[in-house]
Amino acid sequence: MNAPTVLQPGLLLVLSAPSGAGKTTLAHRLLKETPDAVFSISVTTRRPRGKEREGVDYRFVDVATFQQKIERGEFVEWAEVHGHFYGSPQSAVDEARARRGSAIFDIDVQGGQAIKRKHPDAVTIFVLPPSMEELERRLRDRQTDSDETIRRRMLAARSEMERGIASYDYIVVNDDFERAYSELRAVVVAEHCRRGRVDVSKLGLGVGG
């Protein structure tokens, strides 16, 4: 039998998907309905888009500031995506551990895999669009990206999906938002009930919790 993964306090939830699959909307709903959860606000060198707000959607910094943060060890993982840098703050992990609560990471597959290597008890969930046609339609509906950007994102999406399907713990297909959300919620509820995450100490049994 494989040795079970050692569970540390807190639940690190990694949500990945190609952009346009609807993962950010799912993540925000999950955040609203999971009282112990906080959203890991990534640091990025890309510019704000549309209604994005500093310190809410991302922390927007210049490349020099990002480099400093790497050197100071402020990221649990960082990566270059579509020509910009993105990093997840180590503080999101530390705070979730300290609070024994959940941290939600809305990041790409390379970031999710890096977190899983460092924290094998992290739970990785990949959100898929119902089809490639639907994904392209959703990207075009945003009307913020040029044709060239959309072509690049579609190519990146294909490889992201292949890597996510091959390595993530759970897959949720976002064809219908309410159904996809209920699946995501079911995964989170089940993970909260995982042996080792439930506090059984009050029972005074000879096993931990």
Query: Where along the sequence are the contacts to ligand 5GP (CB under 6 A)?
Result: 19, 42, 46, 77, 79, 81, 86-88, 106-108, 110-111
What the block records as the tokens of 155 is: 């190519």
Nearer to ligand 5GP, 75 or 181 (CB): 75
CB 196 → ligand 5GP: shortest distance, Å? 27
Task: Return d(Cα 98, Cα 93) in angstroms, integer.
Answer: 9
Nearer to ligand 5GP, 7 or 79 (CB): 79
What the block records as the tokens of 56 is: 């809410």
Nearer to ligand 5GP, 79 or 187 (CB): 79
CB nearest ligand 5GP: which residue?
111
3-state helix, strand, coil in the chain (%, to 5): 45, 20, 35
What does residue 63 show for φ and ψ, rounded to 5 degrees? -60, -40
Contact 188, 13 (CB under 8 A): yes
- From the list 104, 119, 114, the residue with the least C-alpha distance to 42 is 104
CB 81 → ligand 5GP: shortest distance, Å? 4
CB 152 → ligand 5GP: shortest distance, Å? 11
Nearer to ligand 5GP, 7 or 81 (CB): 81
